[in-house]
């Protein structure tokens, strides 16, 4: 008798068995951890709510959302350039969109390398075949303008890449405006990584002559990770349009992305929930205004730094080039960053970050992290962690200094 072509469901045994897994409720902590590391950061309720919605990625509603995202992004980037686009992907995807559209085989790129993230831009340049030279800057310092000018004279770059806030070693490139001017005067386009800093401190794309700015969602903007933004100047866009060889990264091809972000057409299915979340994050930035947001970030970060120092811990970066958006704190002798991070997370439900092999922990001051109640909880948790690990700190002095900083008595 021939075997029946019908088999009952119970007799089907799959070659790869169905795994036994736990539900998210069983995996996630009952009370969410306070996200005070180098990102992702806490998201406002309006962002979380938007992130729970799926709409058609094409059509009138999406077109309106995209239009508003672009106009709000122009305010946050401080640019009148038309060429604002979103990217489905991390901050690094926006970075790769900037590099891979503006650089190709043989392009001369000068990368000002302050650390882990600015090196990533150099690496992306190498991968598209560009001739990348780096200006290697010592840890915990910035390149002098003389060094930058000299490197530009020597390398004659078509593109200069620079990070505004090097999150890895918590260095702030406070010369950004002057570096852009030097590059511009030499005829180079300037790409700025503002993933960590955008909306936490001034950045004026047009006034400073920057040609491409990139940012992620999960840092200063306090949106979700996975949807990022990029803005090109007219000069950069001309270079994108004028290239002869197509970009090998199909998803990151700015000319294809233009279909969706400017012509209401299809490129790939946009991460609609993430775009809605980003819309709400940008709307909250606009409602607060950049001026007030910068002031909030500055006050909170300086108060945090005062609190950490007053309890007896050392800040990693000298004040002159210290990044306010992410604060680096030296880990006391005999402990590793992982010791501190795991203790504070387990015992105090506060997440902070280590840093790629450096002997520091990092506390973020980006977006929703800059709220007074989050700061008190974090300084307390960090101080208690030190006490519990057997490190001598003066926690009450730290909390008092934090309060003085926040109440304007610094």
Ligand X SMILES: *Cc1c(COP(=O)(O)O)cnc(C)c1O
* Residues contributing to the site for ligand X (CB under 6 A): 39, 90-92, 117, 163, 165, 167, 193, 195-196, 216, 219, 225
Which of 365, 313, 360, 382 lies closest to 139 in space, CA to CA?
360
- As measured in angstroms, the least distance from the Cβ of 396 to ligand X is 33
Task: Specify the residue, 81 or 223, whose C-beta has the smaller distance to ligand X.
Answer: 223
> Cβ of residue 116: shortest distance to ligand X, in angstroms?
8
Cα–Cα dist 206/215, whole Å: 16
HSE-CB of 205 using CA atoms within 13 angstroms: 30
Minimum gap (Å) between residue 357 Cβ and ligand X: 16
Q: Work out how close the CB of 187 gets to ligand X at its nearest, in angstroms, rounded to a whole number.
A: 26
- Min dist. Cβ of residue 273 to ligand X (A): 17
What angle in degrees, to the nearest 10, is found between the helix axes of 176-185 and 145-155? Answer: 30
Q: Name the nearest CA neighbour of 62 among 70, 286, 94, 228.
A: 70
Spatial distance between the Cα atoms of 373 and 378, rounded to a whole number of angstroms: 9
* β-pair partners for 327: 363
Q: The tokens 């910068």 sit on which residue?
A: 294
Query: Which C-beta is closer to ligand X: that of 173 or that of 305?
Result: 173
Q: Which is nearer to ligand X, 90 or 367 (CB)?
A: 90
Q: Which is nearer to ligand X, 165 or 337 (CB)?
A: 165
What is the separation of C-alpha 360 from the centre of its chain, rounded to a whole number of angstroms? 19
> Quick check: bond before 117 cis, omega within 30?
no
- Measured from the CB atom, is 96 or 155 closer to ligand X? 96
DSSP secondary structure of 316-374? SS-GGGB-SSEEEEEPPTT--HHHHHHHHHHHH-EE-B--TTSSEEEEE-SGGG--HHH
Rounded least distance, CB 94 to ligand X, Å: 8
- When CB distances to ligand X are compared, the closest residue is 91
Least Å from the CB of residue 352 to ligand X: 15
117 or 316, CB closer to ligand X?
Answer: 117
Q: Between 92 and 369, whose beta carbon lies closer to ligand X?
A: 92
Taking the C-alpha atoms of residue 176 and residue 203, their distance in angstroms, rounded to an integer, is: 9
Give the Cα separation of 197 and 213 in Å (integer).
11
**Beta carbon nearer to ligand X, 92 or 107:** 92
Q: State the minimum distance, in angstroms, from the CB of residue 343 to ligand X.
A: 24
- For 72-176, list the strands marked E by DSSP: 84-88, 108-113, 131-136, 159-163, 165-166, 171-172
3-state DSSP assignment of residue 384: helix
Q: Are the C-beta atoms of 171 and 317 separated by less than 8 Å?
A: yes
The CB-of-92 to ligand X minimum distance in angstroms stands at 3
Q: Which residue lies nearer to ligand X by CB, 91 or 398?
A: 91
Q: Which of 163, 171, 156 shows the shortest CA–CA distance to 124?
A: 163
CA distance 113 to 33: 33
Q: How far out from the chain centre does Cα 104 lie?
A: 25
Q: How far is the CB of 98 from ligand X (least distance, A)?
A: 11
- Residues facing residue 328 across a β-bridge: 362
Q: Which is nearer to ligand X, 216 or 332 (CB)?
A: 216
């Amino acid at each position: 008798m021939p075997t029946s072509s019908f088999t009952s469901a119970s007799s089907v045994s799959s070659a790869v068995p169905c795994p036994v897994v736990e539900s998210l409720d069983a995996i996630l902590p009952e009370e969410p951890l306070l996200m005070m590391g180098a990102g992702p950061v806490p998201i406002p309720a309006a962002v979380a709510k938007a992130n729970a919605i799926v709409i058609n990625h094409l059509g009138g509603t999406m077109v309106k959302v995209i239009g508003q995202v672009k106009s709000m992004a122009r305010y946050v980037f401080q640019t009148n350039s038309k060429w604002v686009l979103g990217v489905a992907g991390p901050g690094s995807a926006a970075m790769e969109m900037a590099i891979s559209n503006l650089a190709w085989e043989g392009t001369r790129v000068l990368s000002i390398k302050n650390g882990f993230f600015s090196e990533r831009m150099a690496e992306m340049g190498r991968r598209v075949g560009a001739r990348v030279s780096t200006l290697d800057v010592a840890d915990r310092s910035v390149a002098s303008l003389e060094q930058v000018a000299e490197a530009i004279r020597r390398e004659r770059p078509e593109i200069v890449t620079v990070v505004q806030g090097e999150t890895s070693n918590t260095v702030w490139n406070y010369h950004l405006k002057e570096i852009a001017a030097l590059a511009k005067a030499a005829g180079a386009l300037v790409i700025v990584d503002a993933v960590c800093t955008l909306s936490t401190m001034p950045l004026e794309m047009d006034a400073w002559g920057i040609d491409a700015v990139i940012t992620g969602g999960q840092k200063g903007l306090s949106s979700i990770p996975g949807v990022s933004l990029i803005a090109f100047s007219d000069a950069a866009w001309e270079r994108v349009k004028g290239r002869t060889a197509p970009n090998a990264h199909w998803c990151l091809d700015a000319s294809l992305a233009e279909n969706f972000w400017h012509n209401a057409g299809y490129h790939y299915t946009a991460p609609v929930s993430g775009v809605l979340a980003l819309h709400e994050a940008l709307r909250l930035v606009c409602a607060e205004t950049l001026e007030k947001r910068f002031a909030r970030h500055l006050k909170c970060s300086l108060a945090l730094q005062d609190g950490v120092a007053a309890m007896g811990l050392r800040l990693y970066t000298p004040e002159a080039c210290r990044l306010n958006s992410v604060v680096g704190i030296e880990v006391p002798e005999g402990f590793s960053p992982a010791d501190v991070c795991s203790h504070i997370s387990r015992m105090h439900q506060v997440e902070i970050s280590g840093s790629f092999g450096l002997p520091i922990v990092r506390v973020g001051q980006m977006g929703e992290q800059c709220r007074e109640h989050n700061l008190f909880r974090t300084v307390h948790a960090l101080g208690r962690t030190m006490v519990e690990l057997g490190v001598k700190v003066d926690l009450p002095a730290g909390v008092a200094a934090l309060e003085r900083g926040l109440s304007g008595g610094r």
